[in-house]
Amino acid sequence: MDRIPTFIKGLDEKMEGGIPNGHVVLVSGVAGSMKTLLVLHALYENVTRGNGKALYISLEEKRNLILRRAGKVGMKLAEIEDKFAIIDLGFLRKQLKEFPSEKVDWLESLINQIKTFKQDIGFDFLALDSLNALYAISDMKNPRDQLFYFFETLRDMNLTAFLITEMKGEDSEYGQYGVEEFLADGIIHTDLRRINSVMNLFVGVVKMRETKHDRKYYPLVITPNFEFEIVAK
């Protein structure tokens, strides 16, 4: 498959059918702007349609909470565990806190772990939730260099990666160190905007290499049938 659809109705059509296979894409937005659900939705739809297997690595949110949140919008993740693995590294982090003497280079460790997973069980889509959490537990002495290596490693692994990043405000950069937006092949930005007394969710494709794409922001809605779609006139 050349392109990976996001299965957000209307949005894929505005970027030649989806994300080019093998891209490393940032999914950035402020807290509560549905980044996690958007990524879970894209992966779930691709996996259930037989487009590949997924690995979702959570560094903060508990696995059970992810399953519950996804279930609320119709995703039965527990039923496809063999094709959609959710690894809760936050659980391990908590356990290892009892061993303060064990110094772990989380960034390096995560890279090795992803490589081993790829080799041993194989997967086509990777999601990391979130880059901010990874920074918080890693020794980022030289972020530009370390992130260059991280992004390049993902790119060399023949997978499509979604890296979730939390923005502090609508005007902040898409990644914490300001280099992520150059290193990433694509940026999907989710945004919350108050219109009158209602908080509305918007989504826009800020960057997508090798793709002619619309740069407008569109309201994002989830229909009663749990379809994700943009409102485009």
Partner 1 sequence: MTTDLDSAIEEYLRMMFGDMVRATIKMQKKKLGLNGKSDLSRDEYLKLADEIRKVCVGMSGEEFAAKIYDGLIKIIEKKSNQAS
Binding stretches for partner 1 (CB under 8 A)? 63, 78, 81-82, 85-89, 91-92, 95-96, 98-99, 102, 104-105, 108-110, 112-113, 116-117, 120-121
Q: Shortest distance, CB of residue 137 to partner 1, whole angstroms?
A: 11
Question: Quick one: 30 or 104, whose CB is closer to partner 1?
Answer: 104
Judge contact between 152 and 115, C-beta under 8 A: no
C-beta atoms surrounding 205 within 10 Å = 22
Q: Shortest distance, CB of residue 52 to partner 1, whole angstroms?
A: 18
Q: Shortest distance, CB of residue 132 to partner 1, whole angstroms?
A: 19
Question: Quick one: 109 or 142, whose CB is closer to partner 1?
Answer: 109
Q: Compute the distance between CA of residue 142 and CA of residue 119 in angstroms, rounded to an integer.
A: 28
Non-local (6+) Cβ contacts of 156 within 8 A are none
Q: Shortest distance, CB of residue 72 to partner 1, whole angstroms?
A: 18
Question: Quick one: 27 or 59, whose CB is closer to partner 1?
Answer: 59
Question: Quick one: 73 or 87, whose CB is closer to partner 1?
Answer: 87
Q: Shortest distance, CB of residue 178 to partner 1, whole angstroms?
A: 27
Rg of the chain over Cα atoms, rounded to whole angstroms, equals: 17
Which among 168, 188, 186 has a CA at the least distance from the CA of 177? 168
Question: Quick one: 52 or 186, whose CB is closer to partner 1?
Answer: 52
Alpha helices in 2-72, H assignment, sequence order: 35-48, 63-72
Question: Quick one: 33 or 36, whose CB is closer to partner 1?
Answer: 36
Q: Shortest distance, CB of residue 83 to partner 1, whole angstroms?
A: 11
Q: Compute the distance between CA of residue 8 and CA of residue 6 in angstroms, rounded to an integer.
A: 5
* Ramachandran bin of 14, using left for φ above 0, alpha for ψ from -120 to 50, beta for the remaining angles: alpha
User: Distances in Å between the alpha carbon of 155 and those of 40, 44, 139, 185?
Assistant: 20, 21, 22, 9
